[in-house]
Amino acid sequence: MLASSVIPIQIAALSLSILLASRQEEESSVITPLLVQNAANLGLSLYERYGGDKKLRLPQALADGKRLTFQDIDEILDFFENAEIDKKKPGWGNRNNPSADWIRWLLMGGDTSWQWANTVKELARDIDEKLISE
């Protein structure tokens, strides 16, 4: 397994450990990893610099490192699965002249967020299956 794919899995496992430890809470939640927070912060900064003026609940929660519900995780996955993003458009990765697609991608936490959300969802499903079978 590549080191780059191990880190998101470890982050997700840690998030799920925290989730399981906090089962007393009415609604389960996971903590946003720092790399996701950083990407969302950059996305918010670019969004505001280039004219965005609406409050964006989920990107702000990602940037602030707030606890996310599984509904939020589903929303992140829905974005990545359904957004028509072109990473080859001019401005992808360019902080001085960013493409709208890159800003949208960053607002949802970027590549790390996609990997993290998928891993959280898979691990939660596995844990639920094990709890049900016991």
Instruction: Give domain limits for the chain.
Output: 34-123
Cβ burial 11-50 (10 Å sphere, 16+ → b, else e)? bbeebbeebeeeeeeeebbbbbbebbbbbbbbbbebbeee
* pLDDT confidence tier of residue 30, bands split at 50, 70 and 90: confident
pTM as predicted = 0.76
Quickly count: other Cβ atoms within 10 Å of residue 81's Cβ: 9
The whole-chain average pLDDT of the chain stands at 84
Residue, of 120 and 23, whose pLDDT is higher: 120
* Portion of the chain with pLDDT greater than 90, in percent: 57
| Cα 103 to Cα 51, 72, 77, 86, 114, distances in angstroms | 12, 19, 17, 12, 15
| Residue-wise pLDDT tens digits, 43-57 | 999 999 998 888 899
pLDDT in tens, 75-122: 999 999 999 999 999 999 999 999 999 999 999 999 999 999 999 988
